[in-house]
Structure 1
Amino acid sequence: MEWLFEDRVDAGRRLARALLQRGIADPVVLALPRGGVPVAAEVAKALKAPLDLLLVRKIGAPDQPELAVAAVADGAEPALAIDEQTLALCGTSLEYVTGELPAHIKEIERRRALYLKGRPPVPVDGKTVVLVDDGIATGTTVRAAIRALRQRHPARVVLAVPVAPATEVQALRAEVDDLVCLETLDWFGAVGAHYRHFGQTSDEEVVALLKERS
């Protein structure tokens, strides 16, 4: 198989080059942890921008935890995105999602405390925000993230990812001000299938990368 990216650092550097061509002035880079952080760190470095997190949790189907039926993102009011088609295909109810929410919100709070150590979010009001992940599969988590981000009143939202399905890229363009995707594919499996090395990003790595950019 021919890999698109060596690892998340490679993807981040290539994504940064594409973003530099956009000429974005004074941006803030927000990563979706954990996998989006190594990608976003390279983007923030190249754009000479602050790096922060937008915490989001995928809510998986009951018997397929990797299959997102919904996602919730951190915000003044947690933002929820539901994939109604996948929810129906799994025979899962909205009540299931509602029942799962407290545990995922608690995990978001745990990660906020661990990663940010009480530091307040980087202000984004009136700023251009570059929202970065390591890829998009169904788009559910990134939709929740965009909704949470809009609550904070950025001037512009630029969604930047290394790889995504063509159908999702087309759909998500309507939800952001700009979208940069290096590889847009008609056939799409898991995000990790397009990386040579795609190990899990650890909490410790997230903390270290944030410290480097602080």
Structure 2
Amino acid sequence: MNEFHDRTSAGRLLAVELARMELDKPVVLALPRGGVPVAFEIAKVLKAPLDLLLVRKIGLPAQPELAAAAVVDGERVDIVLNDEVVAWAGLDKETIGALAQRELKEIERRRRIYLSNRQPTSVTGHTVILVDDGIATGTTVRAALKALARRGAAHLVLAVPVAPADTALSLRGDVDDVVSLLTPQSFFGIGEFYRDFHQLSDDEVLAYLREASHFASSSEEGEVDHSTS
């Protein structure tokens, strides 16, 4: 199928759609690692801050692939429950808290590597554009959106190159806008829509973040022309 050459080309196409929306005070948050190249192109065109939103699924002890909750890093840590799974498994707050601690350690490791423990960008009063390279089930994205809503985002936009039609529809209740270039009825995996869907390294993520900080600073000083070719 291969609708997109790579994440960069998908990000450029999304940026065109988002620029038309004339969003107020946008902040772009990427879900690493795959969302970073997509979000980078959006932040560049919108001349917006780029940051990461670090989210970790909290799986059941006996079934780690089944999400009971998710822990979301940011201005404060949020634990978003999957109420149906929590009730079915009979989990109490103490158990969920203990499971969350393990995932928080991984979040802290990633923040240390990617952001040198820099404090997360505030979303209060801003238009927040949450970006990934695609959505399958939507569990992690839904947790992220709920956490951002709690933190006072003025307007929430979910921007992804591809998401199954039913998943995109189910997420509309959690956001103000969903921008998805492709919403196929038939969906087997995100990678089928990219020619290049390699797993990004930490070094690649860091390179994008470094460049984003440079063009953001230059934009504020009026030194760089960010028009796209």
TM-score normalised to structure 1 length:
0.87
Superposed, which structure 2 residues align to 1:1-214 within 5 Å?
Answer: 2-59=1-58, 70-75=69-74, 76-82=76-82, 84=84, 93=89, 95=91, 98=96, 100-214=99-213
In structure 2, distance between residues paired with 1:180 and 1:50 = 19
* Rounded Cα–Cα distance in structure 2 between residues aligned with 1:65 and 1:6: 33
* 5 and 94 in structure 1: CA distance in 2 versus 1, 3 angstrom threshold: farther
The superposition leaves residues 88-142 of structure 1 with CA deviations (integer Å, 9 ceiling, x where unpaired) of 9xxx836498364322111011111111112222222111111101111000000
Q: Secondary structure at the match of 1:185?
A: coil
Q: Is the CA contact 1:68–1:83 (under 8 Å) kept in the aligned structure 2?
A: no
CA distance in 2, matches of 1:30, 1:82: 23
Unpaired segments of 5 or more residues in structure 1?
A: none
Distance 2:4 2:110 in 1: 27
Distance 1:31 1:41 in 2: 8
1:126-185 Cα distance to aligned partner (Å, 9 max, x none) = 111111011110000001111221232111011100000111111111111111010011
Is contact 1:69–1:83 with CA below 8 Å preserved after alignment? yes
Of all paired residues, the percent bearing the same amino acid is 57
Q: Distance in 1 between matches of 2:186 and 2:172?
A: 19
After TM superposition, where is structure 1 displaced by more than 2 Å over at least 4 residues in a row? 58-72, 77-85, 92-102
Structure whose CA Rg is larger: 2
Cα distance, 1:63 vs structure 2: 8.7
Amino acid at match of 1:79: I
Contact kept, 8 Å, 1:56 with 1:72, in 2: the verdict is: yes
The structure-2 alpha-carbon separation of the partners of 1:70 and 1:4, relative to structure 1 and needing over 3 Å to count, comes to: farther
Letter of the aligned partner of 1:140 in structure 2? T
Q: Distance in 2 between matches of 1:69 and 1:192?
A: 26
Deviation at 1:62, TM superposition (A): 7.1
Normalising by structure 2, report the TM-score.
0.81
Residue correspondences, number: 209
What per-residue deviation string (whole Å, max 9, x for no partner) do you get for residues 21-74 of structure 1?
111133110111111011100110111111011101234577986675643221
